Amino acid sequence: SGKLLMSDCFAVTMPEIATPAACAAFVSALAFMNTAGRLVWGVVGDKIGRRNTLLTFAVTAPVCAAIPTLIHAGAASPALGAAPLVAFAGSTLGIIACYGGLFAVLPAYVADIFGPKHAGAIMGRLLCGYSAAAIAGPGMLATLRARGDRAAVEELAAKVDPEVFANTFGASIDSLPELWEAKTVTIQNLMAILPPDMHVIDPTYTLYTDTFYIMSGLLAAAAVASWSTGPMSVKAIEKILRARNNNTKANNA
């Protein structure tokens, strides 16, 4: 969820700003931008064209790819203050606004390409894809987060004295996979036993790095698909009609 995302990325490095109340407000802002995007982008689509609007959404791909850098800056550069968090919030809210705008523009764009007669049926098929993504998305997010958590735990465990590790968790460091699966060893537990003079930064903020990069790739693929799609040319329509007429004549013969 958006609250967990904000908390994991900034609550450790900016606890005075990324409070539980602020994280909850962030979730509300996401919902607001989703709704606002449907209203604003629908009007924009009427002004500049639906295809141009969809191509404008391509900017979300590099923005999404830049988010891990913003998160890292917030953790590694305290002198920047709240600037990385503000940039992160603005970026994610902008992406969500484009997501909401897609639902406002897509039905009309489908009608522009395929005609209004079958637009409803085509949109029904497209929404089946959205339903599948809604089911698969959270599972994929959880898997990627767990993979990032395990990698962070392994990296921290390598910095812990083996004797201290064994005394703390009652098992050798060789049992780390089993201890991680049982949630006996966590990032917070390892951070607690690391010597302060090592100045190790809590890696919780890195748990979503792979997620954002994968999302960026998917958004880029969607942008390419939007760019390559457009209304059929007159020649293409004539070719289809000729083929249909030839098939009809062959069947009648």
pLDDT at site 242: 81
- pTM metric for this prediction: 0.83
Q: Give the Å distances, CA to CA, from 238 to 111, 150, 245.
A: 19, 57, 10
Structural domain boundaries of the chain? 1-115+208-253, 117-205
pLDDT at site 93: 95
What string of DSSP letters covers 42-94? HHHHHHH-HHHHHHHGGGHHHHHHHHHHHHHHHHH-GGGTTHHHHHHHHHHHH
Mean pLDDT of the chain: 89
80-95 pLDDT per residue, tens: 888 999 999 999 999 9
pLDDT at site 130: 84
Q: Is 115 left (phi over 0), alpha (psi -120 to 50) or beta?
A: left
pLDDT of 16 strictly over 70:
yes
Mean pLDDT of 58-62: 94
- At 245, the pLDDT band (50, 70, 90 cuts) reads confident
- At 122, the pLDDT band (50, 70, 90 cuts) reads confident
Mean pLDDT of 50-60: 92
